[in-house]
Amino acid sequence: MNIQPFLEDIAYELPEDRIASHPLPTREESRLLLVPPGERPFEDRIFSEILNYLVPGDCLVFNNSRVFKARLFLTRHDGKIFEILLVERLNETSWRAMVRNARRVKPHHRFRLEKWEASLQPDPEDPAYRIVHFSPSLDFEDLERLGEIPLPPYIVKKREKEGHYLLTSEDEKRYQSVLASLYGSVAAPTASFHFSEALLEKLREKGIVITALTLHVGPGTFRTISPADTEFQIHKEWITIPEETIDVLKETRKKGKRIIAVGTTSTRALETMAQHFPEDWQPYSGYTDLFIYGDFPFRVIDGLITNFHMPYSTLLLLVQSFGGKERVKAAYKHALEKGYRFLSYGDAMFLWRKDGVTS
């Protein structure tokens, strides 16, 4: 689809010093930019104050996908080491992967990783990927010992410039939501980073409903839209919305309370489901290639908690579609002027629908 008319709206200057390369010591002490509906002024808060903007019966929808240690280093038969990023487990022995220096890898080459032997074959569905076959099988639990957390490229790049360690033990805990439970993501649903166990408990005590779905975040989330992309194809991701979550959503709507997505991934999953079941929401499982931009008709969410996204990103298009193009552009300008921290380890914003509907 031709996305060129929208590019100017998601172009902005992001100074490198605004990219957060490390998390704050405490999750809920990040900053929160409140973006009320209409023309009401923005409010600069601390994230823990989100308690003051939610009422009993409001529902927060989290993505419970867990980042797995997807980065591996395989040794080829000639001793050369190749870095790979596992993207998706296809079956017990096979994974879809991205391979650094892939042109130097041939189908007949053999690789080792401790007791595992591996071969890398072309992916018949997408030439950007390879299919990696392991013998014996390699599972998520094995990767907890063998692999590395795949931090976003912009964090690694900034840490290199700062002279810091590229990966720390702290990342294993903090590049993960406290609600993460189901392995499958190579990038974290970062809006949930701001919630600690203590804050979640306070929310529950206030009567805020907490529910979850699953969207396994793929590397496509980091892909920005280039001016050369005359026909842009958004990435696919796997989602699962169980029956118990659907029941919670229906009950929330029945009571006239608000459904608030924690992150763009939760938004994408919920609105995908509603595309399939617009009148009577139902459990859903499958791939989504839903591209949210422009005048997208949101059917589920009333509010959105999200981090600040890269220029030219599809995620920023989604946020503008929900909150209003000019309103979100003004919020980003405010955040830059006020020194907010951007991207995965950065601060958050809480915004409502551009039409002012909040329930």
The model's pLDDT over 299-312, given as tens digits with 9 standing for 90+, comes to 999 999 999 999 99
pLDDT above 70 covers a percentage of the chain that reads 98
What integer pLDDT is reported at residue 37 of this predicted model? Answer: 85
Task: Please tell me the distance from the alpha carbon of residue 258 to that of residue 302, in angstroms, as a whole number.
Answer: 6
The model's pLDDT over 192-242, given as tens digits with 9 standing for 90+, comes to 999 999 999 999 999 999 999 999 999 888 888 877 776 777 889 999 999
As a whole number, the mean pLDDT across the chain is 94
pLDDT above 90 covers a percentage of the chain that reads 86
Peptide bond between residue 150 and the one before it cis (omega within 30 degrees of 0)? no
The model's pLDDT over 262-314, given as tens digits with 9 standing for 90+, comes to 999 999 999 999 999 999 999 999 999 999 999 999 999 999 999 999 999 99
Question: Can you list the positions of beta strands (E) in 204-292?
Answer: 209-216, 237-241, 259-262, 284-288
The model's pLDDT over 314-343, given as tens digits with 9 standing for 90+, comes to 999 999 999 999 999 999 999 999 999 999
The CA distances from residue 344 to 30, 200, 222, 244, 316, in Å, are 12, 20, 11, 29, 13
What integer pLDDT is reported at residue 359 of this predicted model? Answer: 40
AA identity, residue 193: F
Task: Please tell me the distance from the alpha carbon of residue 150 to that of residue 33, in angstroms, as a whole number.
Answer: 28
Q: Is the pLDDT of residue 357 over 70?
A: no
Q: Is the pLDDT of residue 81 over 60?
A: yes
**Mean pLDDT, range 82-93, rounded to an integer:** 95
Q: Give the residue carrying structure tokens 């993460």.
A: 180
User: Would you list the DSSP string of 12-56?
Assistant: ----GGGB--S--SSGGGSEEEEE-STTPPPEEEEGGGGGGG--T
Q: How many helices (H) does the chain have, and how many strands (E)?
A: 8, 17
Phi, psi of 215 (to 5 degrees): -135, 115
What integer pLDDT is reported at residue 356 of this predicted model? Answer: 62
What are the b/e assignments for 85-117, b being 16+ CB within 10 Å? bbbbbeeebbbbbbbeebeebeeebebebeebe
**Mean pLDDT, range 57-65, rounded to an integer:** 98
Domains detected in the chain: 4-67+170-352 (3.40.1780.10), 71-146 (2.40.10.240)
Nearest partner of 215 among 186, 172, 257, judged by Cα = 186
What integer pLDDT is reported at residue 358 of this predicted model? Answer: 45
The model's pLDDT over 1-22, given as tens digits with 9 standing for 90+, comes to 667 778 888 999 999 999 999 9
